[in-house]
């Protein structure tokens, strides 16, 4: 039996069910990435969903105290920021590994010289 999950619920799962922002704010982030919070989640939305997670974590990096108050295992702001940066780097790698709608993968390598 398949369970239907909304896009908002799937976003919360990716965020480890931490209450960083209200549902309205999370829905705003989803809309910025062309997702609707009340739609049923499909795997074709994964890249956009991970980009939304990245955007949320990036906003938290501007307010590490908020992140630290939710993630209580960090003794210092520096530890919280390092963890947040690592998580964002890992997310970026996951996002780049997902092919876009044209089927092309984005390379993590850039050309240094061009003709």
At 46-97, the pLDDT tens digits run: 999 999 999 998 888 877 676 666 666 666 667 777 777 888 888 888 888 8
Q: What pLDDT shows up at residue 51?
A: 94
Asked if residue 50 lies in contact with residue 98, where contact means CB atoms within 8 angstroms, the answer is yes
Q: What pLDDT shows up at residue 104?
A: 52
Q: What pLDDT shows up at residue 42?
A: 93
Handedness of CA 27, 29, 35, 41 (dihedral sign): negative
Compute the distance between CA of residue 6 and CA of residue 23 in angstroms, rounded to an integer: 12
pLDDT in tens, 22-45: 999 999 999 999 999 999 999 899
Q: What pLDDT shows up at residue 7?
A: 97
Cβ contacts of residue 49 below 8 Å, gap of 6+? Answer: 7, 10, 11, 14, 30, 33, 35, 41
Residue ranges per domain, the chain? 7-97
On whether the pTM is more than 0.75, the answer is no
At residue 14's C-alpha, the angle toward residues 51 and 99, to 5°, is 40
Residue 40's beta-bridge partner residues?
A: 6
Compute the distance between CA of residue 29 and CA of residue 17 in angstroms, rounded to an integer: 16
Q: What pLDDT shows up at residue 34?
A: 95
Handedness of CA 59, 63, 66, 70 (dihedral sign): positive
pLDDT greater at residue 100 or residue 49: 49
């Amino acid at each position: 039996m398949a369970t239907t999950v909304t896009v908002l619920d799937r976003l919360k799962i990716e965020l480890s069910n931490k209450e960083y922002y209200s549902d309205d704010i999370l829905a705003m982030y989803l809309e910025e990435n062309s997702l609707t919070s009340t739609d049923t989640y499909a795997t074709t939305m994964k890249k956009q969903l991970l980009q939304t997670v990245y955007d949320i974590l990036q906003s938290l990096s501007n307010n590490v105290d908020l992140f630290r108050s939710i993630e209580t295992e960090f003794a210092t702001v520096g530890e919280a920021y390092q963890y947040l940066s690592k998580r964002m780097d890992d997310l970026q790698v996951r996002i780049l590994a997902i092919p876009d709608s044209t089927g092309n993968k984005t390379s993590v390598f850039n050309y240094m010289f061009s003709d």
